[in-house]
Amino acid sequence: MASVRDVTFELLRAHGLTTIFGNPGSNELPFLAGLPDDFRYLLGLHEGVVLAMADGYAQARRGPALVNLHAAAGTGNAMGQLTNSVYSHSPLVVTAGQQVRSTVGQEVMLANVDAAALPRPLVKWSSEPASAEDVPRTISQAIHTATLAPQGPVYVSVPYDDWRAESSVEARHLLSRSTVTAAALTTPQLTELAAMLDRAERPVLILGPDVDAVAANDHAVALAEALAAPAWIAPSASRCPFPTRHPAFRGVLPAGVKAISDLLAGHDLVLVVGAPVFRYHQYDPGRYLPEGTRLVHLTVDPGEAARAPMGDAIVCDLADTLARLTAAVTPGRRAALVPLPPIPAPRPGSAGRLHPEEVFAVLRDTAPADTVWVTESTSTTGAFWAQADLREPGSYYFPASGGLGFGLPAAVGVQLADPDRQVVALVGDGSANYGITALWTAARYRIPVIFVILRNGTYGALRWFAQVLAAGETPGLDIADIDFTALAAGYGVTGVTVASRTALVEAVTDALAAGEPRLIQVDTDLTTP
């Protein structure tokens, strides 16, 4: 008879889950010891970093990633990053070691009390198997649950003495199972939606990260062209589903009710695809939609459909729906979109500092055209989009719920999953401290991410919010004089500080040729989101 551990490794292998992101503790050792040769273990020095690395990896490979955490403490350390994973629909299979099964009720050291409840509501599903024999089936359920639409993180706690128990013969059935989602619009639904778009005088598209996640970017472009409709990216999108220099591109929607409604004024039909309706942030009261505007929502997530405050929702396969809808609408009914004006010259910085627009312009012009940008510099988002030229799918990643600590480790995971494209992490000095140990993992495994730290010495986004809220001067917002090149050196990454555009070009050029991780620290002016 095979052990529970042996069958589980066969199951993981069958689903391509042979990369494990983790930070081990004693409860996890019986699972990890003697890891099969075709598996690889990526060590992170903090569980939040581990989870964010796996998140970036899962998003970039468009498939599940396996995470191994230590009991309740390790799970708790990782839960901040789960706030991003749930809203980016990242299919993470998160496992945690539990104490010996017979001792859990005593609440001995390292017991995960009520383990299944701990990560809720930040996971789609969580469980601790009722018996050792049920471990493989539970992990199989976790994998299928994580990858079925809407994708998202799941959690399984396993008592460590379960691994050596004998597995059921029936567990072999798990190795050949498959589950798929096949929800498609009916012909009447498609006909009605196409006719609605044809009748609209000024339709507009709002596209979200799920369009990029299912590689439906080309379909979205084709639909925008057929409708001659402008296209916005949904607020706080974790991915960019549309080329930013296309004539239809209008940028990223703001995250306030009134601000969105004002931008939609004059549009009679709003088609939202692959995004919630809407993920507002700052309190900005107003009407949800302008008078006379209708909203239709296409989503893979029944929860998103159910909780939206307005509009008609259809839960469906996005790639199939966009392709069929593009073929069904009547092109040429509206004036063609005109090309966008050239990207404006970046604003200059002050003495000894670069404006973030200068940084992004240099990076855009120096890095390869298909560079992947992982951004977590929340006070410079406006500057980034002002200079961005994103042409390829999978070129942009952002923390979906604003949970800090995503940028550095997610860039490591994205680079691991997409080794043929250069990954550049654009991270503020405030955000960088939450995931700084990702530098060690990058150095240890020679993952050639270029980390760019934009250092302005303060929590810039919070300073902006203090103005929005009329909060006045607030303590705890300044973080001056952190030397990230020294921190990088301690973790084994070569770093350099630059203070001019010329020096930045040289540093980026050197980093691109290095074949190993590099860090570039740039002192920048304070800007607003």
CA gap 238, 87 in Å, rounded = 8
Q: 3-state SS of 283-301?
A: CCCCCCCCCCCEEEEEECC
CA gap 436, 338 in Å, rounded = 44
CA gap 415, 19 in Å, rounded = 14
Q: How many CB atoms lie within 10 A of CB 116?
A: 16
Which of 173, 153, 160 minimizes the C-alpha distance to 128?
A: 160
The catalytic site residues sit at: 25-26, 28, 47, 70, 281, 402
CA gap 100, 160 in Å, rounded = 6
E strand spans, 172-322 = 203-207, 231-233, 249-252, 269-273, 294-299, 312-315
Q: How many CB atoms lie within 10 A of CB 362?
A: 24
Helix, coil or strand: residue 220: helix
Beta pairing class for 125-127 and 92-98? unpaired
Contact 269, 301 (CB under 8 A): no
CA gap 442, 412 in Å, rounded = 6
CA gap 267, 270 in Å, rounded = 7
Q: How many CB atoms lie within 10 A of CB 271?
A: 27
Helix, coil or strand: residue 425: strand
